[in-house]
Amino acid sequence: MSPYHLLGSTGRSYHMPGMSVTEHVFSVPLDHYDPGGRTIDVFARELVDPARADRWLPWLLYLQGGPGGKAPRPLRAGDGWLGRALETHRVLLLDQRGTGRSHPVTARSAAGFGSAGALADYLACFRADSIVADAELIRRRLCGEQPWETLGQSFGGFITLSYLSIAPEGLASCYITGGLPDPAGTADDVYALTYSRVRDKTHAFYDRYPQDRDVVRRIADLLDRETVLLPDGDRLTSARFRVLGLMLGMGDGAERLHWLLDEALGPDGLSDAFRYQVMQLTGFVDNPLFAVLQESVYAQGCAATAWSAHRAMQGLPDFSRDADPLLFTGEMFFPWMFRGTAALRPFAEAADVLAERADWPPLYDLKRLADNDIPVAAVVYHDDMYVPVELSLRAAKSVGSTRAWVTNEWEHDGVNASGDRVLSRLIDMAAGRV
C-alpha cells in the first residue's frame, strides 16, 4: 500500500493517458442523522500523475455542479483544470450520492417507493449537508485527520459553504468557480434575479442570430397547433421547447442552440434529429435530481419553496407565451415538467411534497461562516445566468477569509473553458501570491 493511504484501502487501479487511477467505494449512512440505519455506497475516483504516485501530495476534492451531476469522466490528464491540479495534487472525483456510481437516483428507483411522502423523505437525504457528511467520512478514511482542499464548481460551491459550516476542520483551502451562494438567501431571492439574466441572454442570442427569432416563433406555433411526440413518447410542447434556454448560460451555449435550430424545421415539420436532441437535452434521464432538488438546495428552516420559479414567472408578462420576442427559460423547474416528462413523472407527487416542506435542517451556519479563517478563493462570473453576481458578492462579504475575483471573460463554465487559467489563479489567490 502506498504511504499516502493512511487509513484507506484501495480498489481497482489502472492507467489512463497521463494518469494513475484508483477506484474507491465507501459505505455511508443514507441518513447521517440516523447513523445506525440504512447504508448506501458512494463511489470516488482517485487520479494522480504516475510520476508522483508514490509521493505525499495534498488532496484536492472536486465537487461538481448540479444538484444531480456526476463527477467528470476525464479523457486525458492535460485537459483544463485537471492538468493543473495533477501538477501538485492528488485529485478525488466524487460521484455525489445519487449520481453516477453512487447509488444513483433514477426514475426506475423512484417508481419503487410506496408513497410520495416516503420518496420525498428519501430525496431529502441527497442535499449538500449529506454530501458534506459523506466527504468527511471519506476524508478520514483516506487522509486520517489531514485536511484537504476542495474545488467546487457551481453547486459544488454551495456544498463548499455547507462544508465550511459543518466541518471546517476537514478543509485546508477552498476554490469556488461560479458557485458562491448567499447563505442567507432563499429560492425567491434567486429567481428574482435569474429571470432577468435569462431575458438578457435570450435577447443577446437573438441579436447574434436574428434569423433564429423567427425560427423559434415558428417552432412554438407549430407545437401549439399540432401534437408532436418525442422519440420516448413525451409530447413536445412550446413550454418544454423553451427549456432549451438552459444552455444559454454556458460559453458556447448560443452557438449550440443556433445549430440545433438550424436543422429543426424540414418539409415534414420538425426533423427527427431535432426531436431526438430535444428529448436528450430536456429529458433529465441521467440527472433527475437536477430537476427534483433544484429549489430544495436553497431550503432552510420553516419557509417552503412552494414552486418558487413558477410563482416568479407568473408575475413576468414578457415571459408569457404570447410575448414578442418569445423568451426561453433557464434553470427553472415547473410543476408541469413532472407530469409531462417521462423521466420525471415518478417524482411528480414527491416534488409537490418537497415544495411544501417547511421543516428543513439548516445548510449554513452564518456565524461560523462569518468567523471563517480557512482561505476561500472564488471566481464570480459577472454575467452568470445561474448564480447571480449580486448574491455572490453578498456572500463574499459575509464569509470570512474569502477573496472574490469578478470577471466577464467567461461564462458559468469558465473553469473548463479557460484551460488551466481559472484554477491557477484561484490557487495563487488562496496562497496570497496575487
Active site residues per annotation: 154, 359, 412
d(Cα 275, Cα 63) in Å, to the nearest integer?
32
**DSSP bridge partners of 231:** none
- Three-class SS state of 90: strand
Closest CA to 384 of 220, 157, 107: 157
d(Cα 354, Cα 304) in Å, to the nearest integer?
8
Which triple of cell numbers denotes residue 19? 494518469
d(Cα 393, Cα 382) in Å, to the nearest integer?
10
**Phi, psi (degrees; rounded to nearest 5) at 216:** -60, -45
Q: Which helix (H) or strand (E) holds 110?
A: helix 107-110
DSSP class of 72:
P
Q: By the 8 A CB rule, do 174 and 148 touch? A: no
**Phi, psi (degrees; rounded to nearest 5) at 140:** -65, -30
Q: Which helix (H) or strand (E) holds 402?
A: strand 402-407
